[in-house]
Amino acid sequence: MILITGSAGFIGSAVTCALNRQGRSDILLSDRFGEREKWQNIVGTRYKRFIHRDDLFAFLRENPLAKDIKAIIHLGACSDTTETDMDYLLENNVSFSIRLCQWSIENSVRFVYASSAAVYGDGSLGFSDDDNITPTLRPLNKYGFSKWMFDMWVLENGLAGKVAGLRFFNVFGPNEYHKAKMASVLFHIFPQAVKDGKVRLFKSHRSDIPDGDQARDFVYIDEAVDISLFLLNNPEVNGIFNAGTGMAHSFKELAHGLFEGLGKSPVIEYFPMPEELRERYQYYTRADMSRIRNAGYPVKEDRFKENVACYVKKYLLPGNLYLTERSV
């Protein structure tokens, strides 16, 4: 039995779908829906039981099914990089994770969790997942700090050899529609390109980086799922790993890929970044993938253009927002 937290979210629902496609339905799903539409992400998926996030620890204490859990993929968290309530982030991204990790250790259950590339801050210290570098990192926002805090808890408690963490870089693809402002840039500029024939991107506020040349390590949802399942299926591989592609592409390239997928000539306008974001903005990210490659994960070749085209043509353009069994 596999427990997936954040199971109705972007990556969690995609992992559930991938396990279904492998013939597995021995899955426990846990999440909190609220008023958002992410419940639709698990329509068509097959699982044993859904557990509300607030009831999870009671379930683990009292329900006989908990004894059958062999692995936990912990993806549930507040993923809003603009969240200002640090106490809320401490509860959801740190304390909850600590309790769940402790339960997994006590019950000899495989524990794979989601960290974030936000821990790297402005990137001035690079993007190496070497444990010796982690204590020196300085995240730019409260969300990144909360993820760093849990990474540090893992390291300081000597658990890096017993659990596996993934620092996801910029993941994009179907099932992200419910993330609102936290959805990918590609998701947000797609309707602009269709309706207006042009897209709007942030201006650069650094003299050494031209407008549109801000760059990210863009990770397609298939790649995020693949690396998650690698850690699930290889319990001997432990530590905190980058989950990226090892390549950086600019937002300008992203926009050009979108227009190419639409068969249109690219038209890009740049507008000032909100002042409150300028000091907390990552201008460049690129995952160092050597650690997980050395652990046996087969890092793929750069498929950025193909993945952008796939998302645009297979999902965004036909209005198919879901990566579930109904879209197979």
142 is catalytic: no
- Phi/psi for 165 (5° steps) reads -120, 150
Residue with tokens 């020196």: 136
Contact 7, 218 (CB under 8 A): no
Number of CB atoms found within 10 A of residue 145's CB: 20
Among 143, 177, 220, 311, which one carries the catalytic annotation? 143
Orientation angle between helical segments 10-21 and 221-233, nearest 10 degrees: 60
Angle of CA points 176, 241, 235, to nearest 5°: 100
Q: Is 322 helix (H, G, I), strand (E, B) or coil?
A: coil
Number of CB atoms found within 10 A of residue 256's CB: 19
The β-bridge relationship of strands 2-5 and 71-74 is parallel
143 is catalytic: yes
Residue 277 tokens, joined: 């974001």
Give CA separation, 39 vs 16, 45, 55, 77, 116, in Å. Answer: 13, 11, 17, 16, 24
Rg (CA), the chain: 19
Among 179, 198, 203, 314, which one carries the catalytic annotation? 179
Q: Which residues contact 220 (CB under 8 A, 6 or more apart)?
A: 171, 172, 173, 303, 307, 310, 311
Residue with tokens 């590609």: 186
Q: Which residues contact 143 (CB under 8 A, 6 or more apart)?
A: 78, 79, 80, 81, 82, 83, 89, 93, 116, 118
Q: Which residues pair with 262 in a beta bridge?
A: none
Separation of CA 223 from chain center: 10
The β-bridge relationship of strands 110-116 and 164-168 is parallel
Sheet holding 49-52, edge to edge: 49-52, 27-31, 2-5, 71-74, 110-116, 164-168, 239-243
Question: Which positions are annotated as active-site residues?
Answer: 143, 179
